[in-house]
């Protein structure tokens, strides 16, 4: 019988971060304390939930099933806490957000719009930019980032996985052929993303190693959505986040190539300045994202 909600929370944090160490940091516990939480939970369920090796932490099939139910338990618990606190702690005031342009427009703004409908006493001040701002200096409540902070003043919560997809339109692939490995890229037209430091390399998992490949192309763009549009028009291969092209892949407008070379990237996270107690508006917005993306991120097939 489950009588320790803290053990369920520890399990969810380990599942999200795929790391006992990161889960311990987020929970403010020692790594051994988190391990004991997982052991108690597995013993109470008489089921192994997590595979542990020296390098990796992953969920068993039973663990994946329990994760979905555990997230609902935590969301319902949060909803109950919010309902009890609403009389004197109704979220209110201005919520300042910093979002990457593409994922912000496509996937965060719809959640924010519903959040504002649910909480009429909240105002939102949103910055859409692919440049990372100083959250502390600029007074940002929460930012969405791909990967975690390097700033010790910041903490993070993992929201969803992230991966890059190399893809092209069916028309382009019919005309130019399908690349079978990254070595074939030289003979293809490529649409390149550029940022402050120049052209972004393309990222692959090759021979058991994560590698970055410098690529050149006739068309260089500093906006990922413009790259997507150009790929849809048949101008060449592109490497873009799954959150941007997942729907196009599902509907056949773009075709993923070389999926066996895809590598696991740093996850999509909510990042915010370290505080002892998060304000209700920040905590509830982050939990709204977590609840909506708990089973599967909306861009994953």
Q: How far apart are CA 80 and CA 14, in angstroms?
A: 23
Asked if the model's pLDDT at residue 42 lies above 80, the reply is: yes
Buried-exposed string 234-245: b where 16+ CB fall within 10 A, e elsewhere = bbbbbbbbbbbb
Cβ distance 238 to 227 under 8 Å? Answer: yes
> For the whole prediction, is pTM greater than 0.85?
no
Rounded to 5 degrees, what are φ and ψ at 40?
-60, -40
Q: How far apart are CA 95 and CA 178, in angstroms?
A: 46
* Predicted local distance difference test score (pLDDT) of residue 28: 86
Domains and CATH numbers, the chain: 5-89 (1.10.10.10), 91-159+267-301 (3.40.190.10), 164-261 (3.40.190.10)
CA quadruple 198, 268, 270, 105: dihedral, nearest 10: 70
Greatest mean pLDDT among 193-202, 206-215, 270-279 lies in: 206-215
Asked if the model's pLDDT at residue 275 lies above 70, the reply is: no
pLDDT tens string 17-28: 888 888 888 888
122: part of which helix (H) or strand (E)?
Answer: strand 122-128
């Amino acid at each position: 019988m489950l009588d320790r909600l803290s053990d369920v929370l520890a399990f969810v944090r380990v599942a999200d971060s795929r790391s006992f160490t990161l889960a311990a940091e987020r929970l403010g516990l020692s790594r051994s304390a988190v391990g004991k939480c997982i052991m108690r939970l597995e013993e109470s369920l008489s089921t192994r939930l997590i595979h542990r090796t020296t390098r990796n932490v992953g969920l068993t099939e039973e663990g994946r099933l329990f994760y979905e139910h555990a997230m609902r338990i935590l969301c319902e618990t949060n909803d109950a806490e919010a309902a009890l606190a609403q009389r004197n702690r109704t979220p209110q005031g201005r919520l300042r957000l910093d979002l990457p342009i593409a994922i912000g427009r496509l996937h965060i703004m719809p959640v924010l719009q519903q959040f504002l409908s649910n909480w009429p006493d909240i105002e939102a001040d949103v910055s859409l930019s692919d440049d990372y701002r100083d959250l502390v200096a600029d007074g940002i409540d929460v930012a969405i980032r791909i990967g975690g902070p390097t700033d010790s003043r910041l903490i993070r919560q993992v929201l969803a996985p992230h991966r890059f997809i190399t893809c092209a339109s069916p028309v382009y692939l019919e005309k130019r052929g399908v690349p079978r490995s990254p070595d074939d890229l030289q003979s293809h037209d490529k649409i390149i993303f550029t940022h402050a430091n120049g052209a972004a390399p393309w990222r692959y998992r090759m021979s058991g190693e994560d590698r970055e490949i410098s690529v050149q192309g006739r068309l260089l763009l500093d906006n990922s959505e413009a790259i997507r549009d150009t790929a849809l028009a048949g101008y060449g291969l592109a490497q873009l986040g799954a959150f941007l092209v997942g729907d196009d892949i599902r509907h056949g407008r773009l075709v993923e190539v070389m999926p066996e070379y895809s590598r696991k990237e740093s996850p999509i996270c909510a990042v915010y300045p370290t505080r002892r107690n998060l304000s209700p508006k920040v905590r509830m917005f982050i939990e709204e994202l977590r609840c909506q993306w708990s089973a599967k991120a909306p861009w994953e097939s």
